[in-house]
Structure formats: C-alpha cells, structure tokens
A and B are shown apart, each in its own frame.
Chain A
Amino acid sequence: MTRQAPKPDRRIFDPHIHMTSRTTDDYAAMYESGVRALVEPSFWLGQPRTSPATFYDYFDALLGWEPYRAAQYGIAHHCTLALNPKEANDPRCTPVLDELPRYLLKDGVVAVGEIGYDSMTPAEDTALAAQLQLALDHDLPALVHTPHRDKAAGLARTLDVLRESGLPPERVVLDHLNETTVGAAADSGCWLGFSIYPDTKMDPDRMVRILRVHGTGRVLVNSAADWGHSDPLKTSHVADAMLAAGFDEDDVDQVLWRNPVAFYGQSGRLSLDVAPAGERGQQLHEGNSILRGGE
C-alpha cells in the first residue's frame, strides 16, 4: 500500500494505545500523522505484578506523568482504569477492586477498562461483573477486551455477562474484534472496536472490508500499540486505506475522530484542548526531548 501524505487538517483519536510502553519519537510521529487525542487503557504490563500498590503507581502515572508527556507533543491524553482480566486471576492483585472506586472519580478517567476475559475463569467472571457494576455506579462507559484464545466463545460469554449487568450496550465497546466476531458484536448493540496490528489481530485492508459491510457508525479503530510488535501509526494507515478504497475524508473523520469522541464523551470528562503544535516548541527542552532534570 502506498502511503499518502496526510491532509493537514486530518485529526485522529486513537481510542486504545498503551503509551507507557512507547517513546517520545512515537508521540512526535503520531502528532505528525494527525493524532491529537488518545485513550490509554490500563492493562497487563508484560511482567506480572505481585501487589496492589504497584497498580496504584501505574494508575497515578496514567493520571499524571503520561498526560504531561502527551501534552508536550500536542496530544490530549485520557485513560481507562480497571483490574485487567489476566491479573484478576492472582489473589495478590484482587484488592485493587476495592480501591478502584476512588480512582474512577478522577477527571482524566473516561471509562472502566480493559475488563473482560482472558482464560474465562471464575475469578475473571467475578472481576468482570464487579467492574461492570463500577461502571454503572460511576456513570462511565466500559472498554471490554475480547479474549485472544477461543475468541468466539469468549465473546458469547462476555455478551451474557453484559446483558446481566444492566449496562446499556451503547455504553460498551467490545474490543479486538475480527471477521469471526463482528457479527455477534454488532447484533448486541455495543460499539465495535478493532485493533490494527502488523501481524496479528486486524490489518488496514481487512478493516476497510469490514467498514464496507458494517458501515462507519459505532466503529472504533485503534492501534492498541504496546510493548509488543505493534505500530502507533496504524490508525493513519487505516485512514489511508479508507481513502484508497473510495471512502471520503468525512468518513475518515467519523471513524477516526467523531466516533471515539462520541463514545468516550459519554463520560462527560473528555477535555480535548491541548496547546497546538506551534506552541509546543517552547515546552520542549533542547527542542526534541521530554523536559528532564539533567539526568
């Protein structure tokens, strides 16, 4: 696929990306590609954690240091907080569920997430149901991860728990969908999330085929870039692929900006004003780096 230069007014909202694992070069490249806002869901860090306090430090970083870093590159940063499904299985970590109500009050939190299933265990059932209740209590939407293994069965079980929770489907995004799960997810009335990866999950051209069939409404496209093989510019690649396939700039703006704004805007906590690029230079130390204390 040939890359087109992005239109200068293209604006992209990456609704799912783990910036904690990314560099300032990524922030600069994302800004260059049109990214002006993103949501960073709390998730597994690759290395299992062994105590609740390390989660709180992580949550604090998602509410302090990371938004500061993003702002220096002209990008508005919000987050979703939760005990992730994988670590919900470790009883040393589950006390996080008791502390979450305080964290979910914070201004930068726009959803409960990522919640959902990893291995579909009873502990994951408990954490998912408890955190859907927290979303209801805090008037927040929910970002629901669908499992990588046994995906279709995992989605079916997720939809059962969602129905029991009473959380309205328009306040839920089902993430990491693909061709085999998009039908059932669309029927549920939930928002449809797609993660575009270099090798796994979805790719830009398959994404375009799904957009042709299901339309551009209720769809969120993300890079889900993290510490693994992933690419924070995949959102702009999807924009290019959409244009090449005959979608117009307004369709691109709907999928890559207006849809995530509409979904996370349900929290009432989105704040999208960040200093424009022209004013960023003066915030940068040595012109090209995060401000640092000379270490």
Chain B
Amino acid sequence: MLTPLASLRTGLELQLTAESRAWLHRALAEAADVRGDVSAAGLPRWELHFVTAGRKCHPVPRDCATSDPVDAARVLILHAAAPGTETLTRLYTRGTGDERRAVLLALPHLDPPPDTAAALALVEDALRTNDTRLIAAALGPYAAAHLSAHQWRQGVLKCLFTGVPTAAVAGLEHRAAGDDELARMLEDYARERTAAGRTVPEDLGHLLKLARFEETAESEETEEREAR
C-alpha cells in the first residue's frame, strides 16, 4: 500500500502538464539537496519553488480536479526539504493564505516532526482567523493527534459557525465520541440558533449523536434492521 505522501505525489503527477511535472521534479530534487543553494532574494532554491508554486504548477484542464495540485506540490516540497521548526514558522507567518494552508497541511507529514508546541501555535493561529480554507486545513490529522481538547472543541464549533463541513475535521469520530463537553456546547449552540429563529447546521445532529455516544456501529445496525 502506498503511504499518504506517495499517493499524494502519484495523484499530483497524473494531474500535471508535462512542463509542470518537470518543474515538480526539479523542485523536489532541489528541496532534497542538502547543500541548499541560495537563489534570488537570498532564499534557498526550494523556498523559491514553494513560494512560486501557484504559477508554476498547472494541471491538465479537466472537468473535475480531485484536489488542489498547488497545495499538493507545496506539501511535497516541504516534506522533501524537511525544514526546521523556525523555518516552518517563518514560512507560515510571512506566507500568503495559500502558503499558510500548505504549511498546515504538511504538518503531519514532516520528518523529522516539528516541535509540537511551535506547530500547535500555527494551528491555533489559523483557528483564530476567519478564513475557512485555513480553518479546514488547521483541523487535519495533526490537530486530531495533538490539539488540546478545549482548542479542538472550539475548532469544531467554529466549523459550524463558518460553514466548514465537519467532514473536513480529521479524526472526528474518534475525538468526538463520548465527549460530554462537546455535546453540551453543541446543544447550547443549537438552542441559540433556534431561539434566534435560525436553522441549526445540518452537521450538528450527527456530531451530537457522536458526542452522546448514540451513533455506534451497534445503533447503525439497529437502524438498518428497522429500516428493513
């Protein structure tokens, strides 16, 4: 079976034009080169590729793209370059929205892994924004594994507030299961919406069942039996 990164790379290469594929190979080779040649603006060459990926990485036009090729390319470049935590933080804090998203998406794939506190500071920064693309990227597998219970619940609630589908939250079923505090927050939020005459987000019901331990494999089987 392919690792998540290997399948990301295969999926990306299949999407790209020949010219963009050549760019990707060069970028990844230069990122893996430990000599770290410096390019224009005093940046290592791999950082130049990371920054300019949006205009170098073009998919073959198709009706439906399965994922964003630029995000995938930036994640692969970061993995190949294996930047230290300090570099990672700089790339995020002085990055465009797209570059910040790529840093967040790369967090679970980096080897060696970044310093946990510093990486979580980036996740928490993204969760403070109102940019739904950053919020969704922040709640990936890295947050599922490392984010504190309080921050994680706030993140999930923020998804409901901002319309980010909770399907974007990694490890949702595992982390939400039996979380009484999350259940209370969800019920309060549903009450607030109802009191204001507003609809309750569709995702909330499912989430609440998870948190109340009502949605288990057993109950699904029961529902199926009843449906028959």
Contacts and interface: CB of A to CB of B under 8 A. Distances in A.
Do A and B make up one complex?
A: yes
Interface of A: 56, 60, 63-65, 67-68, 101-102, 104-108, 137, 268-269, 271, 282-283, 285, 290-294
B55 A291 contact: no
Q: Point out which of A64, A108, A290 has the most chain B C-beta atoms below 10 A from its C-beta.
A: A64
The 7 closest A-B pairs by CB, nearest first: A107-B54, A64-B97, A101-B41, A63-B96, A294-B161, A291-B162, A105-B51
Interface in B42-69: 42-43, 48, 51-55
B98 interface: yes
B94 A102 contact: yes
Contacts of A283: 132, 163
Contact of B100 (A64, A282, A291, A294): A64
Contact of B130 (A137, A271, A291): A291
Interface of B: 40-43, 48, 51-55, 94-100, 129-133, 158, 161-163
A137 B40 contact: yes
A102 B43 contact: yes
A218 to B, nearest CB: 25
A292 B128 CA distance: 10
A106 B131 contact: no
A65 B131 CA distance: 7
Contacts of A137: 40
6 contacts: A64-B96, A64-B100, A102-B94, A269-B54, A283-B132, A291-B162
B132 to A, nearest CB: 6
B131 A64 contact: yes
Contact of B51 (A56, A107, A285, A291): A107
A204 to B, nearest CB: 35
Contacts of A63: 96-97
Contacts of A102: 41-43, 94
Contacts of A269: 54-55
What does DSSP make chain B's interface, helix, strand, loop or mixed? helix
Contacts of B52: 105, 107
Contacts, number: 69
B122 to A, nearest CB: 14
A256 B51 CA distance: 30
Nearest to A66: B97
B131 to A, nearest CB: 5
A290 B130 contact: yes
A294 B131 CA distance: 13
Contacts of A68: 97, 131, 133
A81 to B, nearest CB: 12
B162 A107 contact: no
A82 to B, nearest CB: 15
Nearest to A61: B97
Nearest to B39: A105
Contact of B96 (A107, A271, A294): A107
Contacts of B158: 293-294
A108 B96 CA distance: 8
Contacts of B94: 56, 60, 102
B48 A291 contact: no
Given A102-B43, A105-B51, A271-B54, A67 B163 contact: no
A67 B48 CA distance: 22
A290 B129 CA distance: 12
Contact of A292 (B41, B48, B51, B161): B161
Contact of B162 (A60, A64, A108, A293): A293
A292 B130 contact: yes
Contacts of A271: 54-55
Contacts of B129: 65
Contacts of A56: 94
Contacts of B99: 106
